[in-house]
């Protein structure tokens, strides 16, 4: 079954709203989210530390008992953090420092030499490496040449088009997933997934191994409660 890795960036956003405030306790939230059934915790420490701080990643390493997935642009500081913390998975994302949120996958054709070096370094520390990718089968050969273990399909376009025509929305993702599996790449997906669009994606993507979900899940939890929400998302994946 497709694993759920909960992105806790937005819990850190709430905590940071009061400066050095201790609530909500990010580490306790991670422990509880795992206890509620999540198979991973995802964080995206951005250079401005607007939500997840570098120290949070260090602290989470000692707390997370499932899998810690650290996402980010492989800047020297980010790579040093991954070298220090050694998370189970690193997801490379080409975000600009001032990006409001992730808004594109890698140009793996142009950047395959750079990515190959970064992937090799991260794998030397024992990490599984995933690269954030737009849904385009033509990118798979270059993605595989980087030595990455997996790709993470950037699902913003799917989520945006889902309400209008879900069959059309999923087509490029299905084609890219099939190409990735054929190339021996593992398959993750994430960004803007929610309780409405998740089950259909899981049904239609052959070989999908993991989804990372944060913004919608934390927003839902404000109304539905965190334990109930984690289990609702897992139930959607069971339908996949
Ligand atoms: C790579 C990805 O799609 C998510 O990590 C997204 O970047 C979440 O980041 P924010 O929580 O800062 O929007
Ligand atoms: N990689 C996607 C992720 O970690 C969470 O994205 P979102 O659900 O916050 O859009």
> Of all atoms in ligand 1, which is nearest to the CA of residue 93?
1
* Rounded Cα–Cα distance for residues 57 and 184 (Å): 30
* Residue 191 annotated as catalytic: yes
Bridge-based pairing of strands 3-7 and 186-190 is unpaired
The ipTM of this complex is 0.98
* Residue 21 annotated as catalytic: no
Q: Which residues contact 205 (CB under 8 A, 6 or more apart)?
A: 153, 170, 173, 174, 177, 187, 189
Quote the mean pLDDT of the chain. Answer: 97
Ligand nearest, relative to CA of residue 150? 2
> How many domains are there within the chain?
1
pLDDT tens-digit readout, 203-235: 999 899 999 999 999 999 999 999 999 999 999
Alpha helices by DSSP H, listed for the chain, are 9-16, 26-35, 54-63, 76-85, 112-124, 140-145, 156-161, 166-182, 198-204, 215-224, 226-238
Task: Indicate the top mutation candidate among 8, 71, 98 to test ligand 1's pocket, ranked by most ligand atoms within 8 A of CB.
Answer: 71
Model pTM? 0.98
Q: Whose CA is nearest to atom 13 of ligand 1?
A: 101
* Rounded Cα–Cα distance for residues 108 and 133 (Å): 8
144 CA from centroid of ligand 1 (Å): 23
The CATH number of the domain where 85 resides is what?
Answer: 3.20.20.70
Task: Identify the CA nearest to 217 among candidates 44, 33, 65, 39.
Answer: 33
pLDDT tens-digit readout, 42-68: 999 999 999 999 999 999 999 999 999
Please give the average per-residue pLDDT across 7-25, as a whole number.
94
191 CA from centroid of ligand 1 (Å): 7
Q: Which two tokens stand for residue 19?
A: 């400066």
pLDDT of residue 22: 86
191 lines ligand 1 (CB under 6 A): yes
Determine whether the annotation assigns residue 7 to a binding site: yes
Burial of 16 (0-12, 13-18, 19+ CB in 10 A): middle
Q: How confident is the model at residue 20 (pLDDT cuts 50, 70, 90)?
A: confident
Give the residue numbers spanning the domain of 34.
Answer: 3-239
């Amino acid at each position: 079954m497709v694993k759920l890795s909960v992105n806790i960036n937005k819990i850190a956003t709430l905590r940071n709203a009061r400066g050095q405030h201790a609530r909500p306790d990010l580490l306790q939230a991670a422990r509880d989210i795992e206890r509620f059934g999540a198979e991973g915790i995802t964080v995206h420490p951005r250079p401005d530390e607007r939500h997840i701080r570098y120290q949070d990643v260090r602290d989470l390493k000692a707390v997370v008992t499932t899998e810690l997935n650290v996402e980010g642009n492989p800047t020297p500081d980010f790579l040093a953090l991954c070298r220090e913390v050694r998370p189970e998975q690193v997801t490379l994302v080409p975000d600009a420092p001032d990006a409001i949120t992730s808004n594109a996958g890698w140009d793996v054709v142009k950047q395959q030499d750079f990515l190959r070096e970064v992937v090799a370094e991260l794998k030397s520390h024992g990490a599984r490496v995933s690269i954030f990718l737009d849904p385009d089968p033509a990118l798979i050969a270059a993605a595989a040449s980087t030595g990455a273990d997996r790709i993470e399909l950037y699902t913003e376009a799917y989520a945006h088009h889902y309400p209008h025509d879900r069959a059309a929305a999923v087509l490029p993702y299905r084609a890219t997933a099939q190409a990735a599996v054929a190339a021996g790449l593992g398959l993750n997906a994430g960004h803007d997934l929610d309780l409405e669009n998740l089950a259909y994606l899981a049904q239609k993507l052959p070989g999908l191994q993991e989804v990372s979900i944060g913004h919608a899940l934390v927003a839902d939890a404000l109304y539905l409660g965190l334990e109930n929400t984690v289990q609702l998302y897992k139930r959607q994946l069971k339908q996949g």
